[in-house]
Structure 1
């Protein structure tokens, strides 16, 4: 089992965690507090497996940057802690990183630097998990893990219901919501909400016993307890609580024994406490889960967390910049929101890229301009892993999203939705390919010259400037800017679903 500094680690691995702490301390000394904070506190985490140190970054960009710039320091720190046989492997993590300013923070000077940066950015440090006997948040007190808070969650139309439900669970007594199941895509804030619930409840009801863990950690501890004959102790830890929060609960799919144990755990807690679960999928979409467990999942409030809209993404970009001690101009924030459409994690990756460019260009102390943001994000908008975009791909994407048959885009129809779809296709082809207006005109309008294509593109640009809405699309009304962002984002994604670089 890899050793790591991460949420939910077993207390028995405290000595193993010391190796990671030593590597982190040496790395902080070698790089300096600011660079360490930028790339390792906010962008990557470390695990130790035998003599191998695994550095797992939030994005491929961060992994590549660390490999190019800090591999030698990493290898030196690893050999000092683990011996000359130590090696370093870089990769991208499949799990969201806890929002913390540093798991191991025994360096007093580093703590002071963080405090000054936090004060300058107008933020306050995240609260520590409780260490008294009245509340257990599945982290050893010596780890000093910092937890996300509900007041730091950026609320928008896509997550408002989930946030309100989480707030009610965190604050109400007696409970307004007894069981809550949050589901949604990766990187949309489910972990933030679960940790925020735990923190809020701890503040309001300090004598309650609260446990936060993950589906993977629950499974590993259960299997270990069966092997070691400590099942009673495991059940006491999991069941004698007032609130149980389990993230990534879909991990227990296809694990029959774990599912049975989990079902009995839910039954035991149901009599005296409450349960909050989070998954990347709706309960009915989690494959190979028992009917009894599915029924329990569906018995409470099942709430979806949707991707943030443009306004929410803009607010998130500003908030993340503040946490890094940076200021964004409104134009820069808007550029980030227009590029990073998929998840909060993409915005975090964009902020890491922008922070790196700001340091390189000596602009870290000034407000980040739209021009600097554009330079940092240029690769996101122009490159794909499988080569240049073809006009046919753009037409297909626009047709799927608008519900207009591809053939209608070239048949001269003046139906409102067809005109919109045709204009969107022209606008995106002009932006994302090398085709000229005359070439686009021949494809869509069957004529020489460029006035028709130019007119269609200008019409879309005017509508974007006026921030017009589109009322009659499949899926309901949407702003034109958001629609263009979604289309662009889908077109610029690599085949594996990640943003191409």
Structure 2
């Protein structure tokens, strides 16, 4: 079974176990257990801390709840085999106190419960015939609402070596290095670094929507480990976050060839971590990630539900930051919205600089398309596209850069097949892209025209619309105008803020407020529909 499959199964097992295990116990188990392998008879689970293994083996109810969760998810009664990944030779920590007995609150028994209390150790050391459960009167304990199980749970013990592949994951003797980097005194395998040399600053198109993230990225490339550390690049999918992150790495490699740069995705980080545990190369994994100078991780939000990997990432993250190593993360989720990450990690994400990327405005989209045309012509293609055609594509495809590029590729690919690359006009463009345009956008309304229209619609002076008066008769139309600038013409928040002489947080607030009003207030919804209808008729 593939690592990804095992991990998915384990995540589902944890979610089931979470419903019955006490929160404190679940928290400890979820961050300390790693799925190793699974077959038709057993599931092998690596334990990162020895005392956690002792807790599971000594508490029959904890073991039973885990095996029940395994059965519910897999549909099979599998043996649960615990493997101590990092055995302590001396000073093994004592397992934290866990109630020896768990009680069940039922209608038949609400005052006291008689249960069979059995302490279970490794199967090799258990004499099943001589094991005599004892009965004990225990008062009801509300904090441990857990079912009672009378039969002991025997946990099979196997040698860890039986499950360890022969081949190493990280080459020990001759680790591969990125060619442009020079090794220092610590050998590190950077063969999994995935820097894309095609993503550079000089081919990154900037505009109002990404100028600030671009500036922060350049600063990091010039001064790694400086003020913008960590750099957290946030934005919806398809806006160029990955391009910007790789551009940082490429610029650092060029400017500081002695620095070790690791660029990867959060999914790759997780898979490497799991494989290092399976192949008993935990120290090499830590050496790989904690002794580099620049760590670039794409789509960090992927780790939200990966409990064990999050713990390792947190330790790596702290180690690097404490040693002034540069970290760059990208995500389509803001740090404060990552509910599955602990507060300590979310706060560290925000401790450096959070750069927000937005959908490119019309001007930027036109610039991107012209850059794509130039790139095609560099391939010795005689590509000629009318400006009207370029403007049309930029207007129709405003979701994100990826969608814009997809439309461009369809247009060029079709024109190439029909031998029309030397004469792509507006009419041909409309015809070619008609099947992927759901609602044709022909409106070229700008911010000022919206301001003028709203002033007339609500019968107020434009200076009051743009002013500071907070009375509802002015504030409500002002918020609607801000909302429409974003919703109808997809202007960037900084651009709208500048037009209304406000900061971008005010525009965000206005957009969110009107959006909620539309959902819950039919009158507001009708007003917005009426305004949009009349705006579209201005053309």
TM-score, with length taken from structure 2: 0.48
Structure 2 residue runs without a partner (length 5+) = 4-177, 378-382, 441-449, 461-477, 492-528, 530-539
**Superposition pairs for residues 157-236 of structure 1, below 5 Å?**
157-172=208-223, 175-236=226-287
Distance 1:471 1:284 in 2: 25
Distance 2:311 2:246 in 1: 25
Residues 327 and 197 (structure 1), Cα distance of their counterparts in 2 relative to 1, 3 Å cut:
farther
Q: Is the 8 A contact 1:181 1:276 kept in 2?
A: yes
Distance 2:403 2:367 in 1: 14
SS for the counterpart of 1:474 is: helix
Alpha-carbon offset, residue 474 of structure 1: 3.0
Tell me, yes or no, if structure 1 residue 369 matches structure 2 residue 420: no
SS for the counterpart of 2:226 is: coil
Distance 2:484 2:341 in 1: 32
Residues 137 and 214 (structure 1), Cα distance of their counterparts in 2 relative to 1, 3 Å cut:
farther
Alpha-carbon offset, residue 132 of structure 1: 3.9
Which residue number in structure 2 is paired with residue 302 of structure 1? Answer: 354
Residues 481 and 216 (structure 1), Cα distance of their counterparts in 2 relative to 1, 3 Å cut:
closer
Residues 332 and 380 (structure 1), Cα distance of their counterparts in 2 relative to 1, 3 Å cut:
same
Residues 273 and 349 (structure 1), Cα distance of their counterparts in 2 relative to 1, 3 Å cut:
same
Q: Is the 8 A contact 1:471 1:478 kept in 2?
A: no
Residues 481 and 256 (structure 1), Cα distance of their counterparts in 2 relative to 1, 3 Å cut:
closer
**Superposition pairs for residues 384-399 of structure 1, below 5 Å?**
none
- Larger CA Rg, structure 1 vs 2: 2
Distance 2:310 2:488 in 1: 45
1:415 aligned to which of 444, 452, 458: 458
Q: Is the 8 A contact 1:318 1:327 kept in 2?
A: no
Which residue number in structure 1 is paired with residue 374 of structure 2? Answer: 322
Alpha-carbon offset, residue 183 of structure 1: 0.6
Residues 305 and 482 (structure 1), Cα distance of their counterparts in 2 relative to 1, 3 Å cut:
closer
Distance 2:459 2:435 in 1: 34
1:244 aligned to which of 283, 287, 295: 295
Structure 1 residue runs without a partner (length 5+) = 4-128, 385-401, 404-408, 418-469, 484-490, 492-501
Q: Is the 8 A contact 1:137 1:212 kept in 2?
A: no
Alpha-carbon offset, residue 352 of structure 1: 1.4
**Superposition pairs for residues 146-161 of structure 1, below 5 Å?**
146-161=197-212
Q: Is the 8 A contact 2:386 2:424 kept in 1?
A: yes
Tell me, yes or no, if structure 1 residue 133 matches structure 2 residue 141: no
Distance 1:295 1:471 in 2: 31
Alpha-carbon offset, residue 322 of structure 1: 2.4
Question: If each structure's helix is expressed as a fraction of its own residues, which one has the higher value?
Answer: 1
Distance 2:487 2:255 in 1: 40
SS for the counterpart of 1:147 is: coil
Tell me, yes or no, if structure 1 residue 280 matches structure 2 residue 327: no
Alpha-carbon offset, residue 351 of structure 1: 1.2
Q: Is the 8 A contact 1:137 1:210 kept in 2?
A: no
Tell me, yes or no, if structure 1 residue 349 matches structure 2 residue 406: yes
Alignment deviations for residues 206-225 of structure 1 (CA, whole Å, 9 cap, x no partner) = 11111100110011111111
Alpha-carbon offset, residue 302 of structure 1: 0.8
Residues 471 and 480 (structure 1), Cα distance of their counterparts in 2 relative to 1, 3 Å cut:
farther
Q: Is the 8 A contact 2:196 2:246 kept in 1?
A: no
Alpha-carbon offset, residue 478 of structure 1: 6.3
Which residue number in structure 2 is paired with residue 267 of structure 1? Answer: 318
Alpha-carbon offset, residue 272 of structure 1: 3.4
Alpha-carbon offset, residue 257 of structure 1: 1.1
Q: Is the 8 A contact 1:332 1:370 kept in 2?
A: yes
Alignment deviations for residues 152-188 of structure 1 (CA, whole Å, 9 cap, x no partner) = 1110111111000001001126724221001110000
Residues 137 and 322 (structure 1), Cα distance of their counterparts in 2 relative to 1, 3 Å cut:
farther
Distance 2:212 2:423 in 1: 34
Aligned length: 289
Distance 1:206 1:189 in 2: 25
Distance 2:286 2:195 in 1: 25
Which residue number in structure 1 is paired with residue 481 of structure 2? Answer: 473
Distance 2:376 2:342 in 1: 44
Distance 1:255 1:205 in 2: 34
Q: Is the 8 A contact 2:227 2:352 kept in 1?
A: no
Which residue number in structure 2 is paired with residue 258 of structure 1? Answer: 309
SS for the counterpart of 1:284 is: helix
**Superposition pairs for residues 1-16 of structure 1, below 5 Å?**
none
Which residue number in structure 2 is paired with residue 339 of structure 1? Answer: 396
Alignment deviations for residues 239-289 of structure 1 (CA, whole Å, 9 cap, x no partner) = 111110100000100111111101110111111311000001101112311
